[in-house]
Structure 1
Protein backbone atom coordinates (compact mmCIF):
# COMPACT_ATOMS: atom_id res chain seq x y z
CA UNK A 1 0.00 0.00 0.00
CA UNK A 2 1.16 3.49 -0.78
CA UNK A 3 2.24 5.41 2.31
CA UNK A 4 2.51 9.18 2.68
CA UNK A 5 5.90 10.75 2.61
CA UNK A 6 7.30 11.43 6.04
CA UNK A 7 7.28 14.99 7.28
CA UNK A 8 10.21 16.20 9.31
CA UNK A 9 8.06 18.77 11.09
CA UNK A 10 7.02 16.52 13.97
CA UNK A 11 6.65 17.05 17.70
CA UNK A 12 9.17 15.22 19.84
CA UNK A 13 8.21 13.70 22.17
CA UNK A 14 4.55 13.07 21.34
CA UNK A 15 2.04 15.20 23.17
CA UNK A 16 -0.16 13.38 25.69
CA UNK A 17 -3.77 13.46 24.56
CA UNK A 18 -6.31 12.33 27.14
CA UNK A 19 -9.28 14.49 26.17
CA UNK A 20 -10.63 15.42 22.74
CA UNK A 21 -13.70 17.43 21.78
CA UNK A 22 -15.34 16.40 18.52
CA UNK A 23 -16.93 19.05 16.31
CA UNK A 24 -19.67 17.93 13.95
CA UNK A 25 -20.77 20.48 11.32
CA UNK A 26 -24.43 19.66 10.66
CA UNK A 27 -25.89 22.80 9.14
CA UNK A 28 -25.94 21.54 5.55
CA UNK A 29 -29.05 20.61 3.61
CA UNK A 30 -27.62 17.78 1.49
CA UNK A 31 -29.21 18.71 -1.82
CA UNK A 32 -27.64 15.80 -3.70
CA UNK A 33 -29.66 13.31 -1.63
CA UNK A 34 -32.93 14.73 -2.97
CA UNK A 35 -34.57 13.88 0.37
CA UNK A 36 -37.37 15.64 2.23
CA UNK A 37 -35.01 16.47 5.10
CA UNK A 38 -31.29 17.23 5.46
CA UNK A 39 -29.30 14.03 5.00
CA UNK A 40 -28.00 14.03 8.59
CA UNK A 41 -31.59 13.36 9.69
CA UNK A 42 -32.19 10.41 7.39
CA UNK A 43 -32.58 7.25 9.43
CA UNK A 44 -31.04 3.82 9.66
CA UNK A 45 -32.84 1.48 12.07
CA UNK A 46 -34.98 4.33 13.44
CA UNK A 47 -31.91 6.35 14.33
CA UNK A 48 -30.73 9.40 12.40
CA UNK A 49 -27.31 9.48 10.78
CA UNK A 50 -26.43 12.30 13.16
CA UNK A 51 -27.32 10.16 16.16
CA UNK A 52 -25.34 7.19 14.85
CA UNK A 53 -22.33 9.43 14.30
CA UNK A 54 -22.44 11.34 17.58
CA UNK A 55 -23.19 8.33 19.78
CA UNK A 56 -20.26 6.44 18.29
CA UNK A 57 -17.91 9.37 18.78
CA UNK A 58 -18.98 9.66 22.42
CA UNK A 59 -18.39 5.94 22.90
CA UNK A 60 -14.68 6.52 22.30
CA UNK A 61 -12.86 6.79 25.66
CA UNK A 62 -10.95 9.95 24.70
CA UNK A 63 -13.87 11.91 23.28
CA UNK A 64 -15.39 13.80 26.19
CA UNK A 65 -17.81 16.06 24.34
CA UNK A 66 -19.33 16.65 20.92
CA UNK A 67 -20.15 20.13 19.64
CA UNK A 68 -22.79 20.07 16.90
CA UNK A 69 -23.23 23.09 14.64
CA UNK A 70 -26.79 23.05 13.27
CA UNK A 71 -28.61 25.37 10.88
CA UNK A 72 -30.31 28.48 12.21
CA UNK A 73 -33.69 27.17 11.08
CA UNK A 74 -33.12 23.51 11.92
CA UNK A 75 -36.44 21.95 12.93
CA UNK A 76 -35.24 18.38 13.27
CA UNK A 77 -32.56 18.37 15.96
CA UNK A 78 -35.03 18.80 18.81
CA UNK A 79 -36.66 15.50 17.90
CA UNK A 80 -33.43 13.50 18.37
CA UNK A 81 -32.13 11.76 21.47
CA UNK A 82 -29.10 14.07 21.43
CA UNK A 83 -31.12 16.87 23.02
CA UNK A 84 -30.97 15.21 26.43
CA UNK A 85 -27.29 14.20 26.33
CA UNK A 86 -25.23 16.39 28.66
CA UNK A 87 -22.10 15.66 26.64
CA UNK A 88 -23.57 17.32 23.56
CA UNK A 89 -23.21 21.06 22.99
CA UNK A 90 -25.26 22.72 20.24
CA UNK A 91 -24.31 25.89 18.42
CA UNK A 92 -25.54 27.66 15.30
CA UNK A 93 -23.57 26.92 12.16
CA UNK A 94 -23.21 28.95 8.99
CA UNK A 95 -23.75 28.82 5.25
CA UNK A 96 -20.45 27.03 4.56
CA UNK A 97 -18.69 24.16 6.29
CA UNK A 98 -15.87 26.44 7.44
CA UNK A 99 -18.38 28.77 9.12
CA UNK A 100 -19.92 25.87 11.04
CA UNK A 101 -16.56 24.49 12.12
CA UNK A 102 -15.51 27.96 13.26
CA UNK A 103 -18.71 28.20 15.32
CA UNK A 104 -17.88 24.83 16.86
CA UNK A 105 -14.36 25.95 17.72
CA UNK A 106 -15.74 29.06 19.41
CA UNK A 107 -18.04 26.88 21.52
CA UNK A 108 -15.20 25.01 23.22
CA UNK A 109 -11.88 25.80 24.87
CA UNK A 110 -10.46 22.29 24.42
CA UNK A 111 -6.80 21.88 23.55
CA UNK A 112 -7.50 19.17 20.97
CA UNK A 113 -10.41 18.99 18.54
CA UNK A 114 -11.38 16.54 15.85
CA UNK A 115 -13.84 17.50 13.14
CA UNK A 116 -16.09 14.78 11.76
CA UNK A 117 -18.82 14.75 9.11
CA UNK A 118 -22.35 14.30 10.43
CA UNK A 119 -23.19 11.94 7.57
CA UNK A 120 -20.16 9.69 8.07
CA UNK A 121 -21.44 7.23 10.69
CA UNK A 122 -19.23 4.23 9.86
CA UNK A 123 -15.87 5.39 11.23
CA UNK A 124 -14.08 2.83 13.41
CA UNK A 125 -12.64 3.43 16.86
CA UNK A 126 -9.36 1.84 15.81
CA UNK A 127 -9.03 4.50 13.11
CA UNK A 128 -9.77 7.21 15.66
CA UNK A 129 -7.05 5.72 17.88
CA UNK A 130 -4.55 5.91 15.01
CA UNK A 131 -5.62 9.47 14.23
CA UNK A 132 -5.12 10.63 17.82
CA UNK A 133 -1.67 9.04 17.97
CA UNK A 134 -0.63 10.68 14.70
CA UNK A 135 -2.00 14.13 15.57
CA UNK A 136 -0.27 14.04 18.94
CA UNK A 137 3.12 13.45 17.31
CA UNK A 138 2.81 15.89 14.43
CA UNK A 139 2.93 19.68 14.59
CA UNK A 140 0.27 20.18 11.91
CA UNK A 141 -2.32 17.65 13.02
CA UNK A 142 -3.60 14.67 11.07
CA UNK A 143 -6.50 13.36 9.03
CA UNK A 144 -7.87 9.99 8.11
CA UNK A 145 -7.46 9.26 4.42
CA UNK A 146 -7.64 6.41 1.93
CA UNK A 147 -5.21 5.88 -0.96
CA UNK A 148 -6.79 6.25 -4.40
CA UNK A 149 -7.18 2.81 -5.98
CA UNK A 150 -8.97 3.59 -9.22
CA UNK A 151 -7.58 5.05 -12.42
CA UNK A 152 -8.19 8.82 -12.31
CA UNK A 153 -9.38 10.84 -15.31
CA UNK A 154 -9.45 14.62 -15.67
CA UNK A 155 -12.39 15.78 -17.77
CA UNK A 156 -12.25 18.38 -20.48
CA UNK A 157 -15.29 19.81 -22.26
CA UNK A 158 -18.52 17.84 -22.79
CA UNK A 159 -17.45 15.24 -20.21
CA UNK A 160 -14.70 13.96 -22.46
CA UNK A 161 -11.45 12.69 -21.01
CA UNK A 162 -8.72 15.32 -21.19
CA UNK A 163 -6.03 13.08 -19.71
CA UNK A 164 -5.36 10.36 -17.16
CA UNK A 165 -4.08 11.51 -13.78
CA UNK A 166 -1.40 9.45 -12.08
CA UNK A 167 -2.95 8.04 -8.91
CA UNK A 168 0.38 7.63 -7.10
CA UNK A 169 0.43 9.82 -3.98
CA UNK A 170 -3.28 10.64 -4.40
CA UNK A 171 -5.51 10.16 -1.36
CA UNK A 172 -9.21 10.48 -0.56
CA UNK A 173 -9.52 12.82 2.42
CA UNK A 174 -11.81 11.37 5.11
CA UNK A 175 -12.81 12.51 8.58
CA UNK A 176 -12.23 12.85 11.47
CA UNK A 177 -9.44 15.36 11.08
CA UNK A 178 -7.66 16.35 14.29
CA UNK A 179 -5.73 19.47 15.25
CA UNK A 180 -4.88 21.70 18.16
CA UNK A 181 -7.84 24.03 18.57
CA UNK A 182 -5.84 27.27 18.48
CA UNK A 183 -4.01 26.23 15.32
CA UNK A 184 -7.18 25.31 13.44
CA UNK A 185 -9.00 28.40 14.69
CA UNK A 186 -6.25 30.71 13.42
CA UNK A 187 -6.03 28.89 10.08
CA UNK A 188 -9.78 29.04 9.45
CA UNK A 189 -10.04 32.69 10.45
CA UNK A 190 -7.18 33.57 8.12
CA UNK A 191 -8.69 31.65 5.22
CA UNK A 192 -12.12 33.23 5.66
CA UNK A 193 -10.69 36.73 6.00
CA UNK A 194 -8.80 36.25 2.73
CA UNK A 195 -11.75 34.55 0.98
CA UNK A 196 -9.68 31.42 0.38
CA UNK A 197 -11.46 28.20 -0.59
CA UNK A 198 -11.57 25.76 2.33
CA UNK A 199 -12.94 22.32 1.47
CA UNK A 200 -11.90 20.62 4.69
CA UNK A 201 -9.99 21.48 7.85
CA UNK A 202 -6.71 20.11 6.52
CA UNK A 203 -6.92 22.50 3.57
CA UNK A 204 -7.13 25.43 5.99
CA UNK A 205 -3.97 24.21 7.73
CA UNK A 206 -2.30 23.78 4.32
CA UNK A 207 -3.20 27.34 3.30
CA UNK A 208 -1.53 28.50 6.51
CA UNK A 209 1.67 26.70 5.51
CA UNK A 210 1.14 23.46 7.40
CA UNK A 211 1.34 19.86 6.22
CA UNK A 212 -1.05 17.55 8.11
CA UNK A 213 -0.22 13.88 8.50
CA UNK A 214 -2.14 11.34 6.41
CA UNK A 215 -3.40 8.38 8.43
CA UNK A 216 -4.67 5.32 6.57
CA UNK A 217 -8.34 4.80 7.40
CA UNK A 218 -10.73 2.06 6.39
CA UNK A 219 -12.53 2.63 3.09
CA UNK A 220 -15.90 1.76 4.68
CA UNK A 221 -15.79 5.14 6.44
CA UNK A 222 -18.12 6.48 3.74
CA UNK A 223 -19.95 9.79 3.62
CA UNK A 224 -23.63 9.51 2.80
CA UNK A 225 -23.98 11.83 -0.19
CA UNK A 226 -26.02 10.01 -2.83
CA UNK A 227 -29.27 8.06 -2.24
CA UNK A 228 -27.55 4.69 -2.74
CA UNK A 229 -25.06 5.50 0.02
CA UNK A 230 -27.71 5.09 2.71
CA UNK A 231 -28.14 1.36 2.11
CA UNK A 232 -24.36 0.89 1.97
CA UNK A 233 -23.92 2.74 5.27
CA UNK A 234 -26.63 0.54 6.82
CA UNK A 235 -24.72 -2.56 5.67
CA UNK A 236 -21.42 -1.30 7.09
CA UNK A 237 -23.05 -0.41 10.41
CA UNK A 238 -24.47 -3.93 10.60
CA UNK A 239 -21.00 -5.38 9.99
CA UNK A 240 -19.47 -3.13 12.65
CA UNK A 241 -22.06 -4.25 15.17
Structure 2
Protein backbone atom coordinates (compact mmCIF):
# COMPACT_ATOMS: atom_id res chain seq x y z
CA UNK A 1 0.00 0.00 0.00
CA UNK A 2 2.80 2.40 0.87
CA UNK A 3 4.28 2.03 -2.65
CA UNK A 4 1.37 3.82 -4.34
CA UNK A 5 1.43 7.44 -5.45
CA UNK A 6 0.33 10.32 -3.24
CA UNK A 7 -2.15 12.54 -5.05
CA UNK A 8 -3.36 15.72 -3.37
CA UNK A 9 -6.98 16.83 -3.64
CA UNK A 10 -7.84 20.43 -2.81
CA UNK A 11 -11.61 20.95 -2.48
CA UNK A 12 -12.21 24.53 -3.60
CA UNK A 13 -15.85 24.65 -4.69
CA UNK A 14 -17.13 26.69 -1.73
CA UNK A 15 -17.51 30.43 -1.17
CA UNK A 16 -16.38 30.92 2.44
CA UNK A 17 -19.00 33.56 3.28
CA UNK A 18 -17.81 33.89 6.91
CA UNK A 19 -14.51 35.32 5.68
CA UNK A 20 -16.15 38.31 4.01
CA UNK A 21 -16.34 41.76 5.55
CA UNK A 22 -19.64 43.65 5.00
CA UNK A 23 -17.92 46.21 2.75
CA UNK A 24 -16.13 43.65 0.56
CA UNK A 25 -17.28 42.23 -2.79
CA UNK A 26 -18.54 38.65 -2.73
CA UNK A 27 -15.41 36.75 -3.77
CA UNK A 28 -14.60 33.17 -2.70
CA UNK A 29 -11.95 33.34 0.00
CA UNK A 30 -9.59 31.02 -1.91
CA UNK A 31 -9.19 33.81 -4.48
CA UNK A 32 -8.49 36.62 -2.04
CA UNK A 33 -4.94 37.93 -2.12
CA UNK A 34 -2.32 37.39 0.56
CA UNK A 35 0.68 39.63 0.02
CA UNK A 36 -0.22 39.89 -3.66
CA UNK A 37 -0.87 36.20 -4.30
CA UNK A 38 -4.16 34.30 -4.26
CA UNK A 39 -4.77 32.07 -1.22
CA UNK A 40 -5.40 29.06 -3.46
CA UNK A 41 -2.09 29.46 -5.30
CA UNK A 42 -0.20 29.71 -1.99
CA UNK A 43 -1.95 26.58 -0.75
CA UNK A 44 -1.03 24.58 -3.86
CA UNK A 45 2.56 25.83 -3.70
CA UNK A 46 2.79 24.52 -0.13
CA UNK A 47 1.78 21.07 -1.37
CA UNK A 48 4.13 21.17 -4.36
CA UNK A 49 7.06 21.76 -2.00
CA UNK A 50 6.81 18.06 -1.07
CA UNK A 51 8.34 16.05 -3.96
CA UNK A 52 6.51 12.86 -2.94
CA UNK A 53 3.21 14.40 -4.03
CA UNK A 54 2.80 13.17 -7.60
CA UNK A 55 -0.02 15.57 -8.54
CA UNK A 56 -2.27 18.24 -7.09
CA UNK A 57 -5.88 18.16 -8.28
CA UNK A 58 -7.92 21.23 -7.39
CA UNK A 59 -11.63 20.42 -7.40
CA UNK A 60 -13.70 23.51 -8.22
CA UNK A 61 -17.31 24.31 -9.05
CA UNK A 62 -18.37 23.59 -12.64
CA UNK A 63 -18.81 27.32 -13.35
CA UNK A 64 -15.53 28.41 -11.74
CA UNK A 65 -13.76 30.85 -14.05
CA UNK A 66 -10.86 31.86 -11.78
CA UNK A 67 -9.02 28.70 -10.75
CA UNK A 68 -7.23 28.05 -14.03
CA UNK A 69 -5.95 31.64 -14.13
CA UNK A 70 -4.84 31.60 -10.49
CA UNK A 71 -2.97 28.31 -10.88
CA UNK A 72 -1.46 28.97 -14.32
CA UNK A 73 2.11 27.78 -14.70
CA UNK A 74 2.22 25.52 -11.64
CA UNK A 75 3.70 22.06 -12.25
CA UNK A 76 1.90 18.80 -11.43
CA UNK A 77 -1.34 20.76 -11.00
CA UNK A 78 -4.73 20.46 -12.68
CA UNK A 79 -8.26 21.78 -12.11
CA UNK A 80 -11.24 19.45 -11.97
CA UNK A 81 -14.53 21.36 -12.52
CA UNK A 82 -16.69 18.77 -10.78
CA UNK A 83 -17.16 20.18 -7.28
CA UNK A 84 -20.37 19.41 -5.42
CA UNK A 85 -22.69 21.11 -2.95
CA UNK A 86 -20.71 19.99 0.11
CA UNK A 87 -17.08 19.33 0.91
CA UNK A 88 -17.73 15.60 1.06
CA UNK A 89 -19.40 15.70 -2.36
CA UNK A 90 -16.47 17.63 -3.80
CA UNK A 91 -13.85 15.23 -2.46
CA UNK A 92 -15.87 12.22 -3.60
CA UNK A 93 -16.10 13.63 -7.12
CA UNK A 94 -12.37 14.30 -7.11
CA UNK A 95 -11.75 10.66 -6.21
CA UNK A 96 -13.93 9.54 -9.11
CA UNK A 97 -11.96 11.58 -11.65
CA UNK A 98 -8.54 10.86 -13.11
CA UNK A 99 -6.23 7.88 -13.26
CA UNK A 100 -6.33 6.54 -9.71
CA UNK A 101 -4.41 3.28 -9.35
CA UNK A 102 -4.49 0.48 -6.81
CA UNK A 103 -2.39 1.46 -3.82
CA UNK A 104 -2.64 5.22 -4.36
CA UNK A 105 -3.07 7.57 -1.41
CA UNK A 106 -5.34 10.63 -1.38
CA UNK A 107 -4.05 13.64 0.54
CA UNK A 108 -6.90 16.13 1.06
CA UNK A 109 -6.02 19.70 2.03
CA UNK A 110 -8.24 22.73 2.61
CA UNK A 111 -7.93 25.45 -0.02
CA UNK A 112 -7.89 28.03 2.79
CA UNK A 113 -4.83 26.67 4.65
CA UNK A 114 -1.98 28.43 2.79
CA UNK A 115 0.42 28.37 5.75
CA UNK A 116 1.09 24.60 5.75
CA UNK A 117 4.76 24.11 6.75
CA UNK A 118 6.73 21.57 4.73
CA UNK A 119 7.93 19.83 7.89
CA UNK A 120 4.34 19.23 9.04
CA UNK A 121 3.35 17.86 5.64
CA UNK A 122 6.40 15.58 5.58
CA UNK A 123 5.65 14.41 9.14
CA UNK A 124 2.14 13.34 8.13
CA UNK A 125 3.36 11.44 5.07
CA UNK A 126 6.22 9.77 6.95
CA UNK A 127 3.93 8.65 9.78
CA UNK A 128 1.12 7.29 7.62
CA UNK A 129 3.32 5.49 5.12
CA UNK A 130 5.38 3.89 7.87
CA UNK A 131 2.21 2.63 9.58
CA UNK A 132 0.38 1.75 6.36
CA UNK A 133 -2.57 3.62 7.80
CA UNK A 134 -4.34 6.92 7.26
CA UNK A 135 -4.17 9.94 9.51
CA UNK A 136 -4.46 13.69 9.82
CA UNK A 137 -2.62 16.69 11.14
CA UNK A 138 -4.12 17.96 14.39
CA UNK A 139 -3.27 20.04 17.44
CA UNK A 140 -3.99 19.07 21.08
CA UNK A 141 -6.52 21.41 22.69
CA UNK A 142 -4.61 23.84 24.90
CA UNK A 143 -7.40 26.12 26.14
CA UNK A 144 -10.10 25.41 28.67
CA UNK A 145 -13.22 24.25 26.82
CA UNK A 146 -16.69 25.57 27.70
CA UNK A 147 -20.06 24.31 26.54
CA UNK A 148 -22.64 27.00 25.83
CA UNK A 149 -25.92 26.86 27.71
CA UNK A 150 -29.05 26.43 25.62
CA UNK A 151 -31.46 29.40 25.72
CA UNK A 152 -34.13 29.08 28.36
CA UNK A 153 -37.63 28.59 26.97
CA UNK A 154 -39.96 31.54 27.15
CA UNK A 155 -37.28 34.20 27.45
CA UNK A 156 -38.63 37.53 26.17
CA UNK A 157 -35.25 39.04 25.38
CA UNK A 158 -32.01 37.48 24.25
CA UNK A 159 -29.12 37.62 26.75
CA UNK A 160 -26.26 40.04 26.11
CA UNK A 161 -23.96 37.05 25.56
CA UNK A 162 -24.22 33.25 25.77
CA UNK A 163 -23.65 31.69 29.18
CA UNK A 164 -21.63 28.65 30.25
CA UNK A 165 -23.40 25.35 30.86
CA UNK A 166 -20.30 23.30 31.71
CA UNK A 167 -16.53 23.10 31.53
CA UNK A 168 -15.32 20.09 29.55
CA UNK A 169 -12.13 18.15 30.21
CA UNK A 170 -9.64 18.86 27.45
CA UNK A 171 -7.49 15.78 27.97
CA UNK A 172 -7.47 13.70 24.80
CA UNK A 173 -9.12 16.41 22.68
CA UNK A 174 -7.50 17.51 19.42
CA UNK A 175 -8.34 20.17 16.84
CA UNK A 176 -8.39 18.60 13.37
CA UNK A 177 -6.43 20.21 10.58
CA UNK A 178 -5.60 19.17 7.06
CA UNK A 179 -3.97 17.58 5.15
CA UNK A 180 -5.67 14.30 5.86
CA UNK A 181 -4.06 11.29 4.18
CA UNK A 182 -5.82 7.99 3.46
CA UNK A 183 -5.63 5.14 0.97
CA UNK A 184 -7.69 6.49 -1.92
CA UNK A 185 -9.89 3.40 -2.23
CA UNK A 186 -10.66 3.46 1.50
CA UNK A 187 -11.55 7.13 1.47
CA UNK A 188 -13.84 6.75 -1.53
CA UNK A 189 -15.62 3.84 0.16
CA UNK A 190 -16.01 5.88 3.35
CA UNK A 191 -17.46 8.93 1.60
CA UNK A 192 -19.85 6.88 -0.51
CA UNK A 193 -21.07 4.95 2.52
CA UNK A 194 -21.54 8.18 4.50
CA UNK A 195 -23.59 9.69 1.68
CA UNK A 196 -25.80 6.62 1.30
CA UNK A 197 -26.41 6.41 5.04
CA UNK A 198 -27.12 10.13 5.42
CA UNK A 199 -24.17 10.60 7.77
CA UNK A 200 -23.01 14.22 8.04
CA UNK A 201 -19.22 14.34 7.82
CA UNK A 202 -17.20 17.53 8.17
CA UNK A 203 -13.82 16.08 7.26
CA UNK A 204 -12.39 12.96 5.64
CA UNK A 205 -11.36 11.42 8.96
CA UNK A 206 -14.94 11.42 10.28
CA UNK A 207 -16.05 9.46 7.21
CA UNK A 208 -13.26 6.91 7.67
CA UNK A 209 -14.05 6.63 11.38
CA UNK A 210 -17.54 5.43 10.41
CA UNK A 211 -15.82 2.39 8.86
CA UNK A 212 -14.60 1.51 12.37
CA UNK A 213 -11.08 2.64 11.48
CA UNK A 214 -9.06 4.87 13.82
CA UNK A 215 -7.01 7.47 11.90
CA UNK A 216 -3.61 8.49 13.26
CA UNK A 217 -3.26 11.88 14.96
CA UNK A 218 -0.09 13.58 13.73
CA UNK A 219 1.01 16.88 15.35
CA UNK A 220 0.25 19.80 13.07
CA UNK A 221 1.29 23.47 13.24
CA UNK A 222 -0.19 26.79 14.33
CA UNK A 223 0.76 28.32 10.97
CA UNK A 224 -1.52 25.78 9.32
CA UNK A 225 -4.63 27.60 10.51
CA UNK A 226 -7.72 27.72 8.32
CA UNK A 227 -8.72 31.15 7.06
CA UNK A 228 -12.31 31.42 8.27
CA UNK A 229 -12.92 34.92 9.66
CA UNK A 230 -11.84 38.34 8.29
CA UNK A 231 -9.22 38.77 11.04
CA UNK A 232 -7.57 35.49 10.02
CA UNK A 233 -6.37 37.09 6.79
CA UNK A 234 -4.69 39.90 8.69
CA UNK A 235 -2.89 37.38 10.92
CA UNK A 236 -1.75 35.31 7.93
CA UNK A 237 -0.51 38.41 6.10
CA UNK A 238 1.77 39.16 9.06
CA UNK A 239 2.91 35.54 9.26
CA UNK A 240 4.00 35.26 5.63
CA UNK A 241 5.46 38.76 5.26
TM-score normalised to the size of structure 1? Answer: 0.88
Map of 1:40 onto structure 2: 30
CA contact (8 A) 1:140 1:205 kept: no
Match of residue 156, structure 1, among 149, 156, 159 = 149
The partner residue of 2:205 within 202, 205, 219 is: 202
**Counterpart for residue 216 of structure 1:** 219
- Offset of residue 79 of structure 1: 2.8
Structure-1 residue corresponding to 2:15: 29
Question: Does structure 1 conserve the Cα–Cα contact (< 8 Å) formed by 2:190 and 2:210?
Answer: yes
State how far apart, in whole Å, the 2-side matches of 1:200 and 1:139 are.
Answer: 20
The TM-score with structure 2 as length reference comes to 0.88
Provide the residue aligned with 2:112 in structure 1: 119
In structure 2, what is the Cα distance between the partners aligned to 1:147 and 1:130? 16
CA drift of 1:217 comes to 1.0
Instruction: Output the CA distance in 2 between the equivalents of 1:62 and 1:237.
Output: 24
Measure the CA separation in 1 of the matches of 2:105 and 2:220.
20
How far apart are residue 227 of structure 1 and its match?
Answer: 0.4
Q: Give secondary structure in 2 for the equivalent of 1:208.
A: coil
Flag the structure with larger Rg.
Answer: 2
* RMSD, aligned α-carbons: 1.6
Shift in Å, 1:224: 0.4
Paired with 1:234 and 1:106, the residues of 2 have a C-alpha distance of 35
1:58-207 equivalence runs, <5 A = 58-80=48-70, 82-85=71-74, 87-91=76-80, 92-108=82-98, 109-110=100-101, 111-158=104-151, 159-207=162-210
Give unpaired runs (5+ residues) of structure 2. 152-161
For the residue of structure 2 that corresponds to 1:154, the secondary structure is strand
Which structure 1 residue ranges, 5 or more long, are not aligned? 1-14
Question: Aligned pair count?
Answer: 223
CA distance in 1 between counterparts of 2:119 and 2:18 reads: 30
Q: Structure 1 residues 133-142 or 59-68, which shifts more?
A: 133-142
Q: Which whole-Å CA distance do the structure 1 matches of 2:87 and 2:238 have between them? A: 27
1:60 & 1:221 partners in 2: Cα distance? 15
CA distance in 2, matches of 1:133, 1:56: 17
Contact 1:17 1:132 in 2 (8 A): no
